């Protein structure tokens, strides 16, 4: 059943997101899909110019945590915007199920591990990952439309508002973490670590 749903997401099968929206047993599977796909995608993203296997894996694990948190934030914001602004009948778990299935498109990022074979492959892989990101964006639009039952203009507005808020929060979190990271690095150097 999961395989059919993943294939349905990759082939843009009509009604697949409405199906998982109603299936409350799919919530934990959606979270698992997001975590696994995020990890594989991070392995690909962190492989180019990786200084060593330990740092590559650690960077991938940390990137996965932030990707899952970003996903949760996006699902929350999109469900909030849809229900608050457009009076859509939805909740956070429904958005997790639908967007979690659409998240499978992020698996395309895993092909970045091919850069381990040769750094020049990054130039060849970039258009493929860009196309995968575009198709993933389309999958999110379809998932949001089916979950919120909105027209296309409202769906696009909901996604854009959700992405803008998510980007702003991500930038703020990055600044805070960057300041903390610089402070920790300075203290580490100060004490001869």
Express each pLDDT in 65-76 by its tens digit: 888 988 999 999
pLDDT for the residue 181:
56
- Give the distance, in angstroms, between the CA of residue 133 and the centroid of all CA atoms in the same chain: 10
* CA atoms 132, 133, 135, 139: torsion sign: positive
Q: What would the two tokens of residue 76 be?
A: 């929350």
Distance CA 127, CA 16 (A): 27
Residue 154 clears pLDDT 90, i.e. is over it: yes
Give me 110's structure tokens: 């895993």
What would the mean pLDDT of 144-149 be, rounded to a whole number? 93
pLDDT exceeds cutoff 50 at 191: no
Structure confidence at residue 163 (pLDDT): 82
As a whole number, the mean pLDDT across the chain is: 85
What whole-number distance in Å separates Cα of residue 108 and Cα of residue 111? Answer: 6
**pTM for the structure as a whole:** 0.84
The whole-angstrom separation of Cα 160 and Cα 108 is: 23
Calculate the dihedral angle through the C-alpha atoms of 122, 166, 89, 133, rounding to the nearest 10 degrees: -10
> How large is the average pLDDT for residues 107-128?
80
Neighbours of 76 (CB within 10 A): 16
| Tokens at 175, concatenated | 């600044």
Contact assessment for residue 150 and residue 82, using Cβ atoms and an 8 Å cutoff = yes
Confidence bin at 115 (pLDDT 50/70/90): confident
pLDDT tens digits, residue range 57-66?
A: 887 888 888 8
Higher pLDDT pick, 48 / 99: 99
The token pair at 75 is 């699902």
pLDDT tens figures, 124-138: 888 888 898 899 999
The residue count of the chain comes to 193
């Amino acid at each position: 059943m999961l395989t059919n749903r993943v294939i349905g997401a990759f082939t843009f099968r009509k009604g697949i997101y409405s199906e998982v929206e109603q299936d409350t047993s799919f919530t934990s599977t959606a979270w698992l899909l997001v975590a696994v796909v995020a990890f594989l995608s991070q392995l690909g993203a962190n492989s180019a110019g990786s200084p060593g296997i330990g740092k590559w894996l650690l960077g991938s694990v940390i990137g996965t945590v932030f990707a899952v948190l970003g996903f949760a934030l996006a699902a929350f914001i999109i469900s909030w915007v849809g229900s608050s602004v457009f009076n859509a009948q939805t909740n956070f778990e429904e958005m997790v199920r639908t967007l979690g299935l659409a998240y499978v498109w992020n698996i395309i990022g895993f092909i970045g591990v091919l850069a381990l074979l040769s750094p020049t492959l990054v130039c060849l892989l970039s258009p493929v990952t860009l196309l995968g990101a575009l198709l993933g964006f389309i999958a999110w639009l379809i998932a949001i439309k089916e979950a919120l039952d909105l027209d296309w203009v409202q769906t696009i507005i909901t996604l854009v508002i959700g992405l803008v808020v998510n980007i702003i929060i991500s930038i703020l979190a990055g600044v805070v973490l960057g300041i903390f990271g610089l402070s920790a690095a300075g203290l580490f150097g100060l004490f001869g670590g």
